[in-house]
Structure 1
Amino acid sequence: MLSLVKNIDVLTQDYLSVISGLMNIAGRSSDSQNNSYFVNFNQDITSLAVGTKAGYRLFSLSSIDTLEQIYENDSEDICIVERLFSSSLVAVVSLASPRKLKVCHFKKGTEICNYSYSNTILAVKLNRARLVVCLEESLYIHNIRDMKVLHTIRDTPPNPVGLCTLSSNSDNCFLAYPGSNTIGEVQIFDAVNLHSKTMIPAHDSPLAALAFSPSGSRLATASEKGTVIRVFNVADGTKLFEFRRGVKRCVHISTLAFSTDANYLAASSNTETVHIFKLDEPQDVLPNQSNDESQGWMGYLTKAVSASATYLPSQVTDVFSQGRAFISVHLPVHGLRTVCAITTIQKHLRLLVASSDGYMYIYNFDNNEGGCVLAHQHRLFGKSDGSSERVAGSDIGDGTSTDSQTPAKQSSNKTEPPGSISSYAGIVRGRSPGSMSESEKFHEMVAATESPPKDCFKLNDDTEFPPIPPQGTDFFD
């Protein structure tokens, strides 16, 4: 009888623990509905941008122990904020003016230019050569040095979520976007030479996610079914890898992200799981290697499937040929939009996951054993210092963090009415006279779009300012 009472007591405690956990998740989900956050990493995963109804913030990712806030703007509600690498150039779109793009110099609190479009801006992508604005049925390609419209891709298939991606590598400056809203066709556009490059028939279902590798030579794709992820060679459209995320349920994949060394591919979705796939090159069996020496039972099974490929349905042979996740990471929450990245911080590979409820999770990445351990959980709103929680026993980093920078804060500025185009003279009115000479403006324009030195990348280099066009420049002729 005493044993039965103890068992009931244990079960009751477990039940209360589960209920408490569910209540915490429900509370977080409720907060996310009231405070939906735009979260995105910059091109080289050195900073994180967070847009809220009360402005936007930029955080440095140089340390896992502290999330250093390098800038805060509380002047308006922001739905899109994109930073150009580690320069001072940011492109922002507000909820109040969803058709207007503003390009700003956040360190100086200066608006460089703004431009209004015919429809709501759904996405903004930029690298050191181009800035792309995505509307539901058109794409505008700007020269980032003077913000002139170089080309407009009109009458694209309906793209209500603004799905597109731009290679961060200016040498392979390719733009990818859906070529159909009924099947998973990908259009690849050369954003430098301004012509269509190729069309890749990636999936049977409409596309849900796209991502270029850091070099711009590979493209990862996922469809609305969310079960299969493919990687293609951009040069000729050939399929290089095919991975199966799962078979039990269809999910919405929100992000595909190559690691900064291009050896891994991460996929996050509206579930609690982030999948990481290893991009191993195919290993051919050597001519003098016997069949008995290769792959054991898996080799035998693969050989059997290959031999019977003409008799089995294509769906069956596809399942056997698809790769599986190298690592599966379970997040504390689910049902939220998340963005993920894999990068090296403090000499170790890390998995970063930021969610739309205003939290970022940092995992220690073990590329040998194939595991991820939660190291830190950072809150992206509330306290201005970016509060964090350390997970006990999970830190393996031995690097030193950089000194904190005092967060800059921009005062509210009056914006021009929607539909107006700012000339340079109109922009200067927002700054104190004589703060920057004409030669300095031109120098900053060039400096922001130059490639960083090969040996290092200075995160807070004050010489990396955004483009400021010469006086009298007509941005959009």
Structure 2
Amino acid sequence: MNLSKPSSSSSAADAPGLLYAGFNQDFGCFATGLDSGFRIYNCDPLKEKMRKDFEDGGISIVEMLFRCNYLALVGGGKNPKYPPNKVIIWDDLKSKGIVELEFRSEVKNVKLRRDRIVVVLANKVFVYVFSANPLKLHTFETIDNDKGKRPSMSNTGKIKNSNSINSSGSTTVMTTNVSIIPAHSGKLSCLSVNSDGSKCASASEKGTLIRVFDTSSGKLLNELRRGVDRAEIYSIAFDQSSTRLCVSSDKGTVHIFNLDAILGNGASHSPNNGSYYAEKVINNPMLSPSPSGNRQSSFSFMKDLLPKYFSSEWSFAHFKVIADCRCICGFGQEVNTIIVICADGSCYKFLFDPRKGGECVREHYTRFLKDLDE
């Protein structure tokens, strides 16, 4: 997730020289792209694991592949290390780039799997076999995607779900099944897929609703309300079991939602258990626990007659970081924990109560980028 913004709208709280911050696939590590190179950190406990300083330029994207030695790099900043239209596959054991992919326009995002490289441009998505000589498998046309959201964007507010099928036999044939999910009426702002690809979650530019879909059928599974005020969603993350979701925004708030009804069984969810709630609903007597333990309107039984506000579910746990800054979040390696990385160069660890919910407890706070010269 790229935490940078155009200089005209960047916050005074932003860490100088920070161009990018993003988790690896299991949220055990995160990478930062800087005006002077990149760094890799272990999340819990927070510890710098590797750094690479370049005298001749900056890195705007650092995509990790779990904890292995391969990284995808894209140049950026005032003086890019590499042209912004190139993806460099970096081998840290050799301390050099071993693969170079060049495109006709600026690279907006890169995602890695052990067998695939996915490159996102403003209007296209390319999928390659991850090898010494990457073979291009697919090219997908998308709407304008300047923020480099995860691939599979189609028409405005819709998700194009593409499943590749590898046919066996004497000849390998790659075919693609494509389905369209009408996710939102407005443009998509954030999109996330769970670890096995069975669920996807999305938010629009309005940032008030998060919807979760079954990727095989396109069925709406959950409609979750972050709030009523407009916000820019910077990250949506599933936990490893795909039973919970955490969401962060430019307001410095993080919300945790239950996705399965069984999680709410036997739980005690008082609407007053917490002193802070960004959207000011925790003390609202019109909200009551839903079967999942999330909060919902007391008038939800009339959802067929009332606006969608009354049928969607609110988060069961939440917290706010110190500064009102952009942040990304993920579920920690330790049970019931959330790790948060902020644009001001800070890292948080919060603990949530899976039964009571409410306001989370801050367990750890560190500024990982106190000074880029350290």
Q: CA contact under 8 A between 1:37 and 1:358: conserved in structure 2? A: no
Name the structure 2 match of 1:342. 331
Q: If the length of structure 2 is used for normalisation, what is the TM-score? A: 0.79
Segment of structure 1 superposing worse, 35-44 or 218-227: 35-44
1:186–1:199 CA contact under 8 A, matched in 2? yes
- Do structure 1's residue 114 and structure 2's residue 71 form an aligned pair? no
Amino acid of the structure 1 residue aligned with 2:182? P
- SS state of the match for residue 203, structure 1? coil
Corresponding position of 2:128: 142
Counterpart for residue 158 of structure 1: 144
- What residue in structure 2 maps to residue 211 of structure 1? 192
Q: Is the 8 A contact 1:37 1:357 kept in 2?
A: no
Task: Compare the two structures and name the one with the higher helix fraction.
Answer: 1
Give me the whole-angstrom Cα distance separating, in 2, the residues matched to 1:260 and 1:385. Answer: 36
What RMSD, in angstroms, separates the aligned Cα atoms of the two structures?
2.5
Distance 2:318 2:66 in 1: 29
SS of 1:319's partner is helix
1:110 deviates by: 2.9
- Distance in 1, matches of 2:13 and 2:253, equals 21
Aligned with 2:53 (options 53, 69, 74): 74
> In the superposition, relative to structure 1, how do residues 300 and 354 fare at CA in structure 2: closer, same or farther (>3 Å)?
closer
Q: Which has the higher contact order (CA 8 A, sep 6+)?
A: 1
The reply to whether residue 267 of structure 1 matches residue 236 of structure 2 is no
Q: Percent identity?
A: 29
Q: Does 1:186 align with 2:159?
A: yes
Which one is further off, 116-125 or 368-377? 368-377
Change (3 A) 1:300 1:202: closer
Does 2:158 correspond to 1:177? no
C-alpha separation in 1, matches of 2:318 and 2:161? 30
Residue 72 (structure 2) pairs with residue 87 (structure 1): no
Are the structure 2 counterparts of residues 185 and 245 from structure 1 closer, same or farther at C-alpha, using a change threshold of 3 Å?
Answer: same
Give aligned pairs, total: 319
Q: SS at 2:360's partner residue?
A: strand
Question: Is 1:374 aligned to residue 362 of structure 2?
Answer: yes
- Per the alignment, residue 270 of structure 2 pairs with none
1:401 aligns with none
Q: Determine if contact 2:15/2:343 at 8 Å carries over to the other structure.
A: no
SS at match of 2:183: strand
Note closer, same or farther for the CA distance 1:55–1:196 as it changes in structure 2 (3 Å cut): same
CA distance in 2, matches of 1:158, 1:383: 36
The Cα of 1:374 is off from its aligned counterpart by 1.1
Relative to total residues, which structure has the larger strand share, 1 or 2?
A: 2
In the alignment, structure 1 residue 133 sits paired with structure 2 residue 103: no
CA contact (8 A) 1:360 1:377 kept: yes
Q: Secondary structure at the match of 1:344?
A: coil
1:32 aligns with 2:14: yes
Supply the distance in 2 between the matched residues of 1:375 and 1:194 (Cα, whole angstroms). Answer: 48
Determine whether 1:46 maps to 2:36.
no
Aligned residue for 1:121, secondary structure, equals: coil
What stretches of structure 1 of length at least 5 have no aligned partner?
1-27, 165-175, 284-293, 387-477
Within 2, Cα distance between the matches of 1:258 and 1:147?
32
Indicate the residue corresponding to 1:466 in structure 2.
Answer: none
Q: Which amino acid aligns with 1:104?
A: W
Kindly indicate whether the alpha-carbon contact (under 8 Å) linking 2:341 and 2:348 is maintained by their aligned counterparts in 1: yes
Amino acid at match of 1:89: Y
Q: Which letter does structure 1 place at the counterpart of 2:318?
A: S
* Aligned 8 A contact 2:251 2:326 in 1: no
Alignment deviations for residues 193-216 of structure 1 (CA, whole Å, 9 cap, x no partner) = 451431100000110010111221
In 2, Cα distance between the equivalents of 1:343 and 1:212?
Answer: 17
The CA distance in 2 between the partners of 1:300 and 1:119, in whole Å, is 50
Match of 1:17 in 2: none
**Cα distance, 1:142 vs structure 2:** 0.8
For residues 187 and 131 of structure 2, what CA distance do their matches in structure 1 show? 34
More deviation, 191-200/325-334: 191-200
Q: Find the counterpart in structure 2 of residue 355 from structure 1.
A: 342
User: How far off its partner does 1:109 sit?
Assistant: 1.0
- Aligned residue type for 1:81: V
Change (3 A) 1:382 1:282: closer
What is residue 325 of structure 1 aligned with on the other side?
A: 315
1:399-414 equivalent positions in 2, closer than 5 A = none
Matches of 2:15 and 2:318 in 1, distance apart? 27
- Secondary structure at the aligned position of 2:363 is classed as strand
Map of 1:57 onto structure 2: 39
Cα gap change, 1:360 to 1:46, in 2 (>3 Å): same
Cα 1:191–1:47 change in 2 (3 A) is farther
CA shift for structure 1 position 79? 0.2
Structure whose CA Rg is larger: 1
Residue 14 of structure 2 aligns to a residue whose secondary structure is helix
- SS of corresponding position for 1:98: coil
Correspondence for 1:457: none
Give 5+ residue unaligned stretches, structure 2: 1-9, 166-173, 264-289
Q: TM-score, normalised by structure 1?
A: 0.63
Give the deviation of 1:360 after TM superposition.
1.1
Task: Tell me how far apart the structure 1 counterparts of residues 300 and 372 of structure 2 sit (CA, whole Å).
Answer: 55
